[in-house]
Amino acid sequence: MSVYRALAEDPTFSGHFDSLWDFSGVDATDLAGANIRGMSGEPRLFEKGSRRAVVVHSDLGYALARMFELGGDREGEDFAIFRSLEEAQEWLGALES
């Protein structure tokens, strides 16, 4: 079952949630481009105005995250790619000064 389908079936999930996807510990070679493209085509779960931050540490990881960002209907979504967890958390407002 895909993560998207699991979220869609979760009664506690809200499309207004912000999300943080931390791929910093993932070897980007484990992520096939076809899988990223497949995730991009999943039904839209997040509402306009929700923020999604992706954390990657490699250039290949960045390229795959960009492929995901550009591969689906992202109109009105705030989607950003970061190289550090702290930057992503700050952007999401999780780290208040």
Mean pLDDT within 39-53: 72
Question: Is 97 contained in some domain?
Answer: no
Question: Do residues 28 and 61 lie in contact, with contact meaning Cβ atoms separated by under 8 Å?
Answer: yes
Confidence band (pLDDT; 50, 70, 90) for 71?
A: low
In a domain, residue 13? The reply is yes
Q: How many domains does the chain have?
A: 1
Q: Which domain holds residue 86?
A: 3-92
In a domain, 88, yes or no: yes
Domain membership flag for residue 34: yes
Which two three-digit tokens encode residue 60?
């290949």
Q: What mean pLDDT is reported for the chain? A: 77
Quick one: average pLDDT of 34-43? Answer: 54
Query: For residue 92, what are its two tokens?
Result: 């999401």
- Among residues 39, 30, 37, 38, which one has the least CA distance to residue 58? 30
Half-sphere exposure of 27 (CA within 13 A, CB side): 2
Is residue 85 predicted with pLDDT exceeding 80? yes
pLDDT band at 62 (very low <50, low <70, confident <90, very high): confident
Which of residues 76 and 11 earns the better pLDDT score? 11
- Residue 43, domain member (yes or no): yes
Through-space distance between the first and last CA atoms of the chain, rounded to whole angstroms: 38
The crossing angle, in degrees rounded to 10, of helices 33-40 and 59-71 is 30
In terms of pLDDT, which residue wins out, 61 or 88? 88
In a domain, 21, yes or no: yes
Q: What is the CA radius of gyration of the chain?
A: 13
| Residue 60 belongs to a domain | yes
Task: Tell me, yes or no, whether 73 lies in a domain.
Answer: yes
